[in-house]
Amino acid sequence: MKKLMNEAGSVVEDALRGMAAAHPSLRVEGGVVYRAEAKRGRVALVSGGGSGHEPLHAGFVGFGMLDAACPGEIFTSPTPDPIVAATIGTDGGAGVLHIVKNYTGDVLNFELAGEMVEGVEVASVLVDDDVAVLDSLYTAGRRGTGATVFVEKIAGALAEEGAPLAEVARVAADVDARSRSFGVALTSCTTPAAGKPTFDLPGDQVELGIGIHGEPGRSRVRLAGARELAEIAVEAVHGDLPFQDDLLVMVNGMGGTPLIELYGVFAEVEAFVRGKGARVARSLVGNYVTSLDMQGFSLSVCRADDELLRLWDAPVSTPGLRWGR
């Protein structure tokens, strides 16, 4: 294993030091990443989960998106304590929305944290967009993956406009309900602690429906071309929730895949979407929800409407996503 790190046990801590040093807009305290300048009087958004998916979640803290992120150790849920601190620390009197990816540990610890907090109105939205498998290694029900970016961006825009907690929670859940994802792995990821690939994948095979922690997908097939792999992902997503009108589409890199390859995949995805009579209204191509050094991509699609597109287009200023400001 070759990694740029000091020791396996300090990877997350070292990265948080780096984030704080690189981004004056962020403040790191007690292992929680906050906006340096909090805005009071509006709903706050808190997310979190295991590390190793950067820029998710800490890279999405900032204007128009999250107020705080609670990173756990690599692929490990944060404990309730930092979630409690983040919830209390970001509440501006209008309540806090927890955005939780559907993994058993995350769900449990956010739930516990919500019960431990006193005097803060807390709502929660579960992200469970991955159509690959029902129930998985760390999950009851569908896994939460790429749609988290859609939920955090759109709910963040709404919170920034001053919408009340119930409304922000409702729209966040609606975005999740409209979103589906599917991932394809060319290689396994390697966690710093294990020091060897999480799973074995022969040199001529790909894993379809991979999870972002290397959880097994649906099947393995012979390595195919970008067009064929894009079609498999498109059909998996479209087959679960048929494309319609305007779509938000993300072709996301798993961490070790060059951008030039992701654009090649996006070209195929866009053509398939058109072929189904729908339209890519907005898109992201790049590394947003990664799995350490895994090679591969995931496709996430959200059936948007005018209001969701308006919120998507609203200014955002975070290390991982920035426009209009």
Nearest Cα to Cα of residue 96 among 3, 52, 147, 34 = 34
Give the number of other Cβ atoms within 10 Å of residue 78's Cβ: 25
The yes or no reply on residue 181 touching a second copy (CB under 8 A) is no
Beta carbon nearer to a second copy, 62 or 82: 62
CA distance 209 to 232: 10
Give the nearer residue to a second copy in terms of CB position, either 72 or 80.
72
Pick between residue 136 and residue 190 the one whose CB is nearest to a second copy. Answer: 190
Among 90, 187, 188, 252, binds a second copy (CB under 8 A): 187
Q: Determine if 293 is a binding residue for a second copy (CB under 8 A).
A: yes
Is 238 an annotated catalytic residue? no
Residues ≥6 apart with Cβ < 8 Å to 85: 30, 32
Q: What is the H or E stretch that residue 167 is in?
A: helix 165-177
What backbone torsions phi and psi does residue 38 show, to the nearest 5 degrees?
-80, 145
Helix (H) or strand (E) holding 44: strand 44-51
- Is 237 one of the binding residues for a second copy (CB under 8 A)? no
Q: Which of 41, 196, 222, 260 binds a second copy (CB under 8 A)?
A: 260
The active-site residue, picked from 23, 57, 98, 213, is 213
Burial of 38 (0-12, 13-18, 19+ CB in 10 A): middle
Q: Is 98 a catalytic residue?
A: no
Does 14 contact a second copy by CB under 8 A? yes
**According to CB under 8 A, which residues from 74 to 113 bind a second copy?**
none
165-177 vs 306-313: helix crossing angle, rounded to 10: 110
Quick check: 309 binds a second copy (CB under 8 A)? no
Tokens of 162: 């001053």
* 290 lies in the binding site for a second copy (CB under 8 A): yes
Indicate which residues carry an active-site annotation. Answer: 53, 213
Binding residues (CB under 8 A) for a second copy: these are 2-7, 11-12, 14-19, 21-22, 51-52, 54-55, 59, 186-187, 203, 206, 223, 225-227, 229, 255-268, 270, 280, 283, 285, 287, 290, 292-293, 295-297, 317, 322-325
